[in-house]
Each structure stands twice: as C-alpha cells, then as structure tokens.
Structure 1
Amino acid sequence: MAETIFKQMYEPPAPDERDEEEAVCDDASVDAADLPAAAELTFEEKLGALNRCVMRHPLNREILYKALAFCEQERPLREAEDFIASLPQFTSATQNHYYLLTSLVKAYGLDLVERDEEGGIVTPEMKEGLTEDEVDDLVAELSFETTEVGRYFVEYNKPAARLVDLLGLAPERADTYIELLEFVGAEPRTYGQVEGLLAGRPALETVIDGRRETMQPSVFVDKLERAGALIWNKGWTLTEEGREFLEDLKVNGQAQ
C-alpha cells in the first residue's frame, strides 16, 4: 500500500478523481453532524479519498500534509490556522486556512472536535432538539485531530521517504538530483540558474516511444518540489526537510 501512495504523490489525480474530490471538498462549511459516514467506508477507501484531497492542487499539497502532521496532537482552530499561516507555502495557497482544514475533515484525514465551555466533547446527542443559536452557545471551541487514516498517510509520505523513493525510481539521475539540492541549498536560485546548471546533462535524456527526447530541467525541479524538498521563496530553495535530507546524505558520504 505504501508504494502505491508514494507513486501517487508524484502523479496528479486523473480527471474523474478530481471531479470526485470536488464533491468531497467544495463546501468550506462543516458541522460534525454533517460529516461523511466514515463507518461505511473501508480504511483503503478513506485513504484514497485523503490522498486525492491532498493531491488535488499542487500549491496546497505540502500545506495539507503539514497540517495533518501538526494535528497529530489535537489543536484548537485558531492554533491550526496560525500554523498554516506560518508556512512559507501558504503565500501561494489557493484556499484559506479554514477551507484547507475542513477539506481534510471531509476527506477523513482530520476529526472535527467540538468542545463546550468546560472543555468537554459535544456529542450529536447533546445537540438534539436544540435551535441553531442554542447549538452555537453550547459549542465553545472547535479543534482538529488527525485520524488513524491521516496518521498513516503522514507516516508513509514523510518528505525523507518521498525523496528516497524518488532517487530509487531513477537511480541513474540520483546524482543529478543531489547536485541540484546542493545547488539551491547554497542560496536561492532562479529557474534560469537551475537551467544553466543542468543544461546538456545526460540525465536530461530519456526515451519515449522508442525516440530519444530531452527533458526540461523543470522536471527535476517539479519532482523535488513534489517530494517536499524544494520551495519557491524568492528563488528555488531547500525546505527544512530537504536540508535535513541533504545533511543525512553528507553524513553517509553520498553528498559533498
């Protein structure tokens, strides 16, 4: 199962999968009583829905992954929103904090927890027969906690694991990926500088339908970004996870 998930982290969902996820995540409003009937789905079905939600838009992918990891400990709404706002990837996000969090709830990655003034959990039974205003008075705080499905997703999609998988999928290009990580790790780089670094490299050559083709350097950048190692921040630069991965390679003698 993990191998399948890793492969999906590098590939966008098919059009019909995107349409399906539109139905799951379109509405930003959420109420605990209106959530999907998770008990009717298998673990694998919920995992598939979560994977599609995270993969739905490249600009939101790492934000959603990091939100799942952050909420492994229950987090109040404001704390979760502040965390998302602090991420460098959020400057390019296509949706606001609350929408991103509730999309993960609807995709079975997060549990929505409602608590009263004393910190107790508000159950659906406690809201039966109450008016909307009375429910609003009863629920003092919303918080989010990662589900079992979300924890599995986080564990098997850690950036370090994604990078190992990426290098393993194309061992003949591993040295080029590592060199590119070192290059952007020294200072932020423009795409033009990356293009100059990789121009003429044999690693750009590939065979498609029996014909020799030359890949664009952007392919390398895109795959490293999908793996959680690169981010655009006034130039391509390493994420914290990318820098840690590169340090590990140096310790093991695989990088300069």
Structure 2
Amino acid sequence: MTDVRFESETLAVSGGFDESSDAEETPVDDRSMSAEDLPCAAELTFEEKLAALNRTVMRHPLNREILYKTLAFCETERPLREAEDFIAALPQFNLATQNQYYLLTSLVKAHGLELVERDEAGEPVTAVQKEGLTEDEVDDLVAAISFKTTEAGAYFVEYNRPQARLVDLLGLDPGRADTYRELLEYVAGQARPYRDIEVFLDGRPALQTVIDGRAETMQPSVFVDKLERAGALVWKDGWTLTEEGREFLEELKVDGQA
C-alpha cells in the first residue's frame, strides 16, 4: 500500500519553513464544473488514487491542513455553501493560497472528494438524465452540488489522524520526544510568538544534529513545523495548540508522559 502519511519536508538548518510549491497554482472560481468534467476514477487503482490525493494535499504547506480537515469534514455529505463556510472558518485559511471552491475541486480531481449533483427534489442527477440536454437544460436540472469524501479520501483521513502523526513524530525521533512534549505544554497556556519559542528552546541539546559529518544547530522552526505538520499547532496571533494537539497533550499527562 502506498505510504500516504504526511511526510517530512527538508528544512535548511539556518532557514525556517520551506513553503515552496512544486506546481504553479492559478486561482479559479469556476462553478460551472460538472461530474462529466472530472477524471475517470474507474481507470485508476486504489493506490493510484491515494498517490494522487497525497500529492494534492502535500503540494503546498499552507493548504495542507485545510485540505486534510476538509476531507474529514466531508465524510458526511456537505452542500457547497456549508463546505465553503467550514473552510473559511479554519484558522489556517488566513494563509491559504487558494479560495474555498478551488480547494474543494482540487480534492475532487485528486479522487478525495466526490462531486454530487442533486435536483430540486434532492435526488442525485445521473449522466443518463443529462443525455440529449442542452447546457442550459442541464443547469436547470442541477439545483445544488455537494461534496462527499470518497473511499480513498476516508482512508487518507484515518491514516493521517493528528494523533497518529504525533505518535509517529515522537516515536521516530525519541531523542527529541521530551522537547516536543515540553513545547506542546509551553504553548498550551497561551499563544506564543515565534521569538518566545526561540528563547524557550535556545541551548537545548535537542537542537544539535550532525549533517555530512559536521555538528550543526537546528533552528527552533524545525520543531514548530513538525508539530504543525502533525496537526498539533496552529497560528492564531501566535503559535498555540489545535484541539487535537490539546487532546494529545492531555493523553500524555494521563499516561504520565507530560
């Protein structure tokens, strides 16, 4: 099975966040898309759909968590307006590179969401019903569109639950696990500007690493980025815990690990 866990990005030791995109994005708001405009999912294997979805979600760091949360939200079918309002209310949307409709349709094209067309009675509109109709007649037939997470999308959501990502993060880097936990506690009480986090982590052995045989000092932004990627941190006028991050920290306390 294709590994679709949120993979790590390589960050420069002296840099900050790597927010580069591997593809140009052009803002669009074309609401004329129909089910017939979409790629044929039947021609792809489940693994190919997962790979396409993973590429889309991971393409741009600023959109990554929005796309994940949208997949989770649409596990129950959501009308267009409801889905757009949900995305707009996410704190991560303040830094998004695209509008809500573009983000939704990018997930449709990547086989993570199904675009559902319904008539005035709320019944699904099929391709057979559209046969022989003009474009205007099709527009009259389709009264509303909604979005529903596909099987591939649901698998991706479950595989990338923030708790699973956090367990992976601490398990794959046990030498820095205590530092990650302490940083979670530090931002739990109040939102912290990055400068405060720099001071909090300054001088810790966990910042030391070896690159090409040379001792180097990592930037604290590496820790912030990895916790953000794991779904534990979000920027709200400072770095603070997400709901999932807070739940994870509480579980650590119950287990005596924090």
Work out whether the TM-score is over 0.5. yes
Indicate the structure whose relative CO is greater, using CA pairs within 8 Å and at least 6 residues apart. Answer: 2
1:128 Cα deviation after fit: 1.4
Count how many residue pairs are aligned between Structure 1 and Structure 2.
246
Check conservation: 2:118, 2:125, Cα contact below 8 A.
yes
Query: Could you give the per-residue CA deviations for residues 160-203 of structure 1, whole angstroms, max 9, x where no partner exists?
Result: 10000011110000000000000011111111110001111000
Check conservation: 2:4, 2:50, Cα contact below 8 A.
no
Counterpart secondary structure, 1:162: helix
Aligned to 2:8: 10
2:78 pairs, out of 75, 80, 87, with: 75
1:11 Cα deviation after fit: 3.0
Aligned to 2:222: 219
Structure 2 unaligned spans of 5+: 11-20
1:150 Cα deviation after fit: 0.1
In structure 2, do the counterparts of structure 1 residues 26 and 87 end up closer, same or farther at CA, with 3 Å as the change threshold? Answer: closer
Aligned to 1:112: 115
- Please give the TM-score of this superposition, normalised by the length of structure 1: 0.92
Query: Could you give the per-residue CA deviations for residues 15-61 of structure 1, whole angstroms, max 9, x where no partner exists?
Result: xx934xx69x9865432001101111111111011011111111111
Query: Could you give the per-residue CA deviations for residues 61-84 of structure 1, whole angstroms, max 9, x where no partner exists?
Result: 111101100110111111111111
Aligned to 1:36: 39
Check conservation: 2:113, 2:148, Cα contact below 8 A.
yes
The amino acid across from 1:185 in the alignment is A
Aligned to 2:13: none
Q: Which one has a larger percent helix, Structure 1 or Structure 2?
A: 1
Check conservation: 1:18, 1:52, Cα contact below 8 A.
no
Moved more, 215-224 or 122-131: 122-131
Structure 1 unaligned spans of 5+: none
In structure 2, do the counterparts of structure 1 residues 74 and 135 end up closer, same or farther at CA, with 3 Å as the change threshold? Answer: same
Q: Runs of 4 or more off by more than 2 Å in structure 1?
A: 8-12, 25-30
1:153 Cα deviation after fit: 0.1
Check if 1:146 corresponds to 2:146: no
Check if 1:210 corresponds to 2:213: yes
1:94 Cα deviation after fit: 1.0
CA distance in 2, matches of 1:247, 1:121: 43
CA distance in 1, matches of 2:207, 2:127: 57
Aligned to 2:237: 234
1:102 pairs, out of 92, 100, 105, with: 105
1:218 Cα deviation after fit: 0.5
Check if 1:191 corresponds to 2:189: no
CA distance in 2, matches of 1:111, 1:55: 19
The amino acid across from 2:8 in the alignment is Y
Aligned to 1:50: 53
Check conservation: 1:190, 1:235, Cα contact below 8 A.
yes
- Percent of matched pairs sharing the same residue: 73
1:178 pairs, out of 157, 181, 186, with: 181
Check conservation: 1:63, 1:89, Cα contact below 8 A.
yes
1:201 pairs, out of 194, 201, 204, with: 204
Check conservation: 1:28, 1:103, Cα contact below 8 A.
no
Check conservation: 2:27, 2:98, Cα contact below 8 A.
no
Query: Could you give the per-residue CA deviations for residues 106-145 of structure 1, whole angstroms, max 9, x where no partner exists?
Result: 0000000000001111011111111111111000010000
2:162 pairs, out of 153, 159, 164, with: 159
The amino acid across from 1:9 in the alignment is E
Counterpart secondary structure, 1:46: helix
CA distance in 2, matches of 1:9, 1:229: 15
CA distance in 2, matches of 1:27, 1:238: 32
In structure 2, do the counterparts of structure 1 residues 59 and 86 end up closer, same or farther at CA, with 3 Å as the change threshold? Answer: same
